[in-house]
Chains A and B, each alone.
Chain A
Amino acid sequence: MAEQTYNWSAIAKNPKFIELHHKKTAFLFGWWIFSTIYYFLLPIGAAYAPGLFKIQILGRINFGYLFALSQFFVSWGLAMYYAHVANKDFDRLTRELVNELQ
């Protein structure tokens, strides 16, 4: 399997690649930090703000339960959002770049 050789540093300087790389880095790390902070609010909140977690919102269902449940939906939402952006933007930019090189 003879692999095609590329001039990697030239590709790295390609404006399309730089655009892709900037967009991706900002998106991925930004949202990763957001989701991590959101997750750690759960154990930290449960330990240091138990009063808030005890507030009953719907019948016997309290804030703590809804907040824990929200973690699932926030994670799913983020995954879907990422899939949407990646399929639309990142993959398109990548395809354009690869086509240009071949």
Chain B
Amino acid sequence: MKRLLVAIGCVLSLSFAAYAEPAKAPAAPDAKPAVAAPATAPAATVAPATDAAKVAAPAPAKPAEEKKATLKANPKVTIPIFLAIIGATMAVVVWSAKQTKSAADFYTAGGGITGTQNGWAIAGDYMSAASFLGISGMISLYGYDGFMYSVGWLVAYITVLLIVAEPCRNAGKYTLGDILSFRTSPKPVRAVAAISTVAVSTFYLTAQMVGAGKLMQLLLGVPYKTAIIGVGILMVGYVVFGGMTATTWVQIIKAGLLMTGAFLLSVLVSIKSGFSPLQFFTDIATNQNIIDHVKLLPIYLKESAAGTATADAGQRFLEPGLFLTNPLDQISLGMALVLGTAGMPHILMRFFTVPTAQAARKSVIVAMFIIGSFYILTTLLGFGAAIHLSPQGIKQVDAGGNMAAMMLAKQMGGEFSPFLGDLLLAFLCAVAFATILAVVSGLVLAASAAIAHDIYVNVIKDGHADQKEQVFAARATSFIVGACGILIGIAAEKQNVAHLVALAFAVASSGNLPVVVMSLFWKKFNTAGVIAGLVVGTIASVGLVMVSPNMTYPDKVADNAKMAYTKLEKEIAEGKVKPEAMEKTLKTIEAKKAEEVKNRGGKSMLGLSKPLFTLKNPGILSIPLGFIAAILATLMFPCKKAEEMWDEIYVRQNTGLGMAKAIDH
């Protein structure tokens, strides 16, 4: 097995080296920002996907001779750093492969992770490329709203800490199904829980995979498919050979690198304003580029036209409402975040890796400090990027602002020496790569645990499978799940996957969380309640997303195309287009017209011409539905056995008595 791992490592290193070469070619950075925007920042664009698209739409209208700002990684610096990170994680896999003998080793690292380690791993699992790149980008383009957006991601952990972490550690073994099936009919409950877990993981995984592909394409010029296959093979390697031990250490390494990178950059930004927050905010509010940028935002235009603009444009950047304009959608998103995080199967699974409830508690607290510090640092990164790079420049590289942190690294380091700029950029690229690997590995593990442990071992084999068979099943399903992840990632290249993250959080908050909470805290809760809660919560949230503005509505696409070409035609009529750009502009007009014709009168996937449900986040409706369904079904089909077993689960979750022994070699 060791030889096989080394061989995989070599092949990957070679393929990276080979594909990094074309990055030098001038054509490489010609990525399509409008497409990359929603994909590289899946979570950050949960709410704003269409707004970002709107902003991006007029981009082709820019005169051709205007130089596009580009972001190029220097392969001479980048490749060694990439190889070092892949090498370090490979070493972890080889080491942990030796330790993985039982199913408990595979799913929970034998319960032998300490609270602090687990805290770093949770932080690593949670700070996806979306938070890291997307939030700093949102702040750099929309100021205050970007920062406000990041708050919910931390507050979500209060729910995890107070409500689920410790009871889960005491009540469960490997998966969500273990907790839910404790005093209910195990087979149907496990099957439904496994389906929900696989659904949530797949939505999240697909969004991450597509984001990974686009990011690697944009940064290194690696072709999309190669990037997905590379990430996919590494991810499958980590999970299949190293199980939870390797996955945990990849997450810890990544969280450490990410914090280092964010901290270094923040220090560089702070130096610029003399480490004075007051100066920093004055710099933001008086920056001419930011003022120009805000003046052109639709909301500010509207406000000044209506005479309601109370602040100057620079100060307006520090006030709410430039981006998140629908309060109900905002609140709905907050609900999905706060309740969904605690229902995410890959987060729940992390509590089974520690030996005691105390360690579970400690790990959440450690994670909260890391995640919180990180989000506070993103303020410095986001606003710093807006000051030193200008929102206009950031938008040119990527319309969604996802490259703001990367550009900032190159710029800030470059002020000392070009080499330092390249080095910092290469470091951040590698961090982004490690981030994606860590997050996808965790998701693959959660999905394969649901299939192998819940469905194969407990439903099909009635729990009668020896350790060897269980480990084999776990490895085999991880391989299959990983392979499916790669295929889905390739197939979804052209899709707008932003809504998938909304879906993952919606299902976790409306399906998983209500049933977890009631299993732990309601005496009467039973089989009927679990199944009704999971099914109704999941169907309601998926259904609402399908009819929400997250989907593509061809008529809307047609309208946007029409707006774009009308604007271009007007520019030509006004003589604003330079002769040398004329041909290109005419071509764009042709393309937009064709796009309009193609889409006009079309229907969305569900045959709708416009969204039925106007919020992008269904939580505000689907979460109560999940709870109500679970409660009604429980009351309608009372179950004596479930009530009789209540004492046991309640005493267990509070005291840890009779806890599944983590280590049973």
Given contacts A44-B327, A76-B372, contact A35 B647 (CB under 8 A): no
* Chain B residues with CB below 8 A from A65, complex form: 144, 147, 281, 318
- In the complex, whether B415 has a CB less than 8 A from a CB of chain A is no
A47 to B151, CA, bound (A): 15
Residues in B305-339 with C-beta less than 8 Å from chain A: 310-311, 315, 318-321, 324, 327, 330-331, 334, 338
Contact string against A for B residues 488-511, beta-carbon threshold 8 Å, 1 for contact and 0 otherwise? 000000000000000000000000
Given contacts A42-B148, A47-B327, contact A60 B651 (CB under 8 A): no
- In the complex, whether B648 has a CB less than 8 A from a CB of chain A is yes
* B417 → A minimal CB distance (Å): 33
* B642 → A minimal CB distance (Å): 14
- In the complex, whether B94 has a CB less than 8 A from a CB of chain A is no
Cβ A59 vs Cβ B281 within 8 A: yes
* Chain A residues with CB below 8 A from B658, complex form: 3-6
Cβ A58 vs Cβ B657 within 8 A: no
* B197 → A minimal CB distance (Å): 24
Residues in A30-63 with C-beta less than 8 Å from chain B: 31-32, 35-36, 39-40, 42-44, 46-48, 50, 53-54, 56, 58-62
* Chain A residues with CB below 8 A from B338, complex form: 36, 39
Cβ B148 vs Cβ A28 within 8 A: no
- Within 8 Å by CB of B151, from A20, A71, A91, lies A71
Which residue of chain B lies nearest to A16 when distances are taken between CB atoms in the complex?
Answer: B655
Which residue of chain B lies nearest to A53 when distances are taken between CB atoms in the complex?
Answer: B320
- Within 8 Å by CB of A91, from B155, B319, B358, lies B358
A99 to B9, CA, bound (A): 51
Give chain B's interface residue range (CB within 8 Å of chain A). 35 or more
Cβ B654 vs Cβ A20 within 8 A: yes
* A80 → B minimal CB distance (Å): 7
Given contacts A21-B650, A54-B311, A59-B281, contact A79 B334 (CB under 8 A): no
* B566 → A minimal CB distance (Å): 33
Cβ A101 vs Cβ B657 within 8 A: yes
Cβ A82 vs Cβ B155 within 8 A: no
Cβ A9 vs Cβ B647 within 8 A: yes
- Within 8 Å by CB of B655, from A78, A79, A98, lies A98
Selecting from B17-25, B207-215, B363-371, B458-466, the interface stretch reads B363-371
A24 to B654, CA, bound (A): 9
Cβ A82 vs Cβ B369 within 8 A: no
- In the complex, whether B298 has a CB less than 8 A from a CB of chain A is no
* Chain B residues with CB below 8 A from A62, complex form: 315, 318-319
Cβ B155 vs Cβ A39 within 8 A: yes
* A51 → B minimal CB distance (Å): 8
Cβ B320 vs Cβ A75 within 8 A: no
Residues in B369-391 with C-beta less than 8 Å from chain A: 369, 372, 375-376
Contact string against B for A residues 81-102, beta-carbon threshold 8 Å, 1 for contact and 0 otherwise? 0110011000100100110010
* Chain A residues with CB below 8 A from B144, complex form: 64-65, 68
A70 to B151, CA, bound (A): 10
A62 to B311, CA, bound (A): 12
A9 to B647, CA, bound (A): 5
* A37 → B minimal CB distance (Å): 11
Give chain A's interface residue range (CB within 8 Å of chain B). 35 or more
* A44 → B minimal CB distance (Å): 7
Contact string against A for B residues 32-57, beta-carbon threshold 8 Å, 1 for contact and 0 otherwise? 00000000000000000000000000
A72 to B372, CA, bound (A): 6
Which residue of chain A lies nearest to B286 when distances are taken between CB atoms in the complex?
Answer: A60
Cβ B362 vs Cβ A75 within 8 A: no
- In the complex, whether B162 has a CB less than 8 A from a CB of chain A is yes
* B45 → A minimal CB distance (Å): 17
* Chain A residues with CB below 8 A from B148, complex form: 42-43, 46, 64, 68
A82 to B358, CA, bound (A): 12
* B13 → A minimal CB distance (Å): 40
- Within 8 Å by CB of B281, from A21, A60, A75, A98, lies A60
- Within 8 Å by CB of B651, from A1, A8, A71, lies A8
* A90 → B minimal CB distance (Å): 9
- In the complex, whether B285 has a CB less than 8 A from a CB of chain A is yes
Cβ A97 vs Cβ B655 within 8 A: yes
* Chain A residues with CB below 8 A from B368, complex form: 75-76, 79
Cβ A6 vs Cβ B361 within 8 A: no
Given contacts A50-B319, A65-B147, A72-B376, contact A82 B327 (CB under 8 A): no
Name, among B151, B159, B362, B658, the residue most crowded by chain A CB atoms within 10 Å (CB to CB): B151
Given contacts A3-B658, A86-B361, contact A64 B647 (CB under 8 A): no
* Chain B residues with CB below 8 A from A54, complex form: 310-311, 319
- In the complex, whether B284 has a CB less than 8 A from a CB of chain A is yes
Name, among A1, A8, A43, A78, the residue most crowded by chain B CB atoms within 10 Å (CB to CB): A43
* A10 → B minimal CB distance (Å): 9
- In the complex, whether B163 has a CB less than 8 A from a CB of chain A is yes
A98 to B147, CA, bound (A): 46
- In the complex, whether B188 has a CB less than 8 A from a CB of chain A is no
Cβ B365 vs Cβ A79 within 8 A: yes
Residues in B631-665 with C-beta less than 8 Å from chain A: 647-648, 650-652, 654-658, 661, 664
Which residue of chain B lies nearest to A4 when distances are taken between CB atoms in the complex?
Answer: B658
Which residue of chain A lies nearest to B319 when distances are taken between CB atoms in the complex?
Answer: A54
* Chain B residues with CB below 8 A from A53, complex form: 319-320
- In the complex, whether B87 has a CB less than 8 A from a CB of chain A is no
Which residue of chain A lies nearest to B282 when distances are taken between CB atoms in the complex?
Answer: A60
- In the complex, whether B80 has a CB less than 8 A from a CB of chain A is no
* Chain A residues with CB below 8 A from B152, complex form: 39
Contact string against B for A residues 1-29, beta-carbon threshold 8 Å, 1 for contact and 0 otherwise? 10111101101100001001100100011
Given contacts A12-B647, A43-B334, A83-B362, contact A61 B158 (CB under 8 A): no
Given contacts A40-B334, A61-B277, A61-B278, contact A75 B365 (CB under 8 A): no
User: What would 24 A/B residue contacts be, using CB atoms closer than 8 Å?
Assistant: A8-B647, A11-B651, A12-B650, A20-B655, A35-B155, A35-B162, A36-B338, A39-B151, A40-B331, A40-B334, A42-B151, A43-B334, A44-B327, A46-B330, A54-B311, A59-B281, A60-B284, A62-B319, A68-B147, A69-B376, A72-B151, A72-B376, A75-B368, A94-B656
Name 8 extra pairs, CB < 8 A, besides A64-B148, A72-B154.
Answer: A3-B658, A8-B652, A17-B655, A32-B162, A48-B327, A53-B319, A76-B369, A79-B161
Identify the 6 closest CB pairs spanning chains A and B, nearest first: A47-B327, A46-B320, A8-B648, A60-B281, A12-B647, A59-B278
